Chain A
Amino acid sequence: MAKGVKPRVKVPKSAAAGDVITIKTLINHKMESGQRKDKQGNRIPRSIIHRFNCDFNGQNVIDITLEPAISTNPYIQFKAKVPESGEFVFTWYDDDGSVYEARKSITVG
């Protein structure tokens, strides 16, 4: 498991029903592309987060397949529609099988 992986998510605390909100996510990850070489000229093996998924109350918002061409510490910004109060579940899938998860609640009032 890659060390020091810490997901960070920014979601507004409240919104009006049916509002489209902006969500920003960032996760610490070196995203080793598999193209770089070390000092001895050996290829450093690929180690990236290959998938990001966001659900709201069990309904899918966005599902992104990430390739090695994504920068270190992947930053993803997108929009979501909030029909009711609930919880966003963000999931990152690492090449090594680890799954990182973050949850954020939003109140519709």
Chain B
Amino acid sequence: MEFTRRETLALGAGAAALAVLPIRVEASVEDEIAAFTGGAEIVEGGVELTAPEIAENGNTVPISVSAPGAVAIKVIATKNPSPKVATINFGALSGSSEASLRIRLAKTQEVRAIAKMADGSFRGASQTVKVTIGGCGG
């Protein structure tokens, strides 16, 4: 198979774009996390993230987060077109720092929960969810 100069250039450009794309997605996830933590270190554990291992329908995936002593929890879907899912702020009368939501997942990916504790430290937890049918349209 012979390539003309033009085709070779186009192929190269395509490959470069492909290589750059995943990095950008990852960067936006990191940006979201950094915006929440302010760059502070995240210690794994202390947060419970419950999500199904396999979700047949990515349109409604039930998840629940629980972090005793947390003042806020941010939920991030790492491979969604927009990784932000929800930010939960617990008020003075919040019985225990936990909440359940139903979320959309575009494809099989890791869901991450980051909790801001009352003392200003950050805790994290992750869970991989396999998605059979994606839930973000398009």
Q: Residues of A at under 8 Å CB distance from B? A: 20-21, 33, 35-37, 54-56, 59-72, 74-83
Contact of A67 among B61, B85, B105 (CB under 8 A): B85
The answer to whether B93 touches A70, judged by C-beta atoms less than 8 angstroms apart, is: no
The answer to whether B102 touches A74, judged by C-beta atoms less than 8 angstroms apart, is: yes
A69 CA to B130 CA, complexed, in Å:
16
Contact of B99 among A60, A72, A77, A83 (CB under 8 A): A77
| CB-CB nearest in chain A for B85 | A69
| CB-CB nearest in chain B for A76 | B101
Closest CB of chain A to B7's CB: distance in Å? 28
Most buried by A among B98, B104, B138: B104
A-B contact pairs, 16 of them (CB 8 A): A20-B95, A20-B96, A21-B95, A35-B137, A56-B93, A61-B94, A64-B86, A64-B87, A65-B88, A69-B77, A70-B103, A71-B59, A71-B135, A72-B59, A77-B99, A77-B101
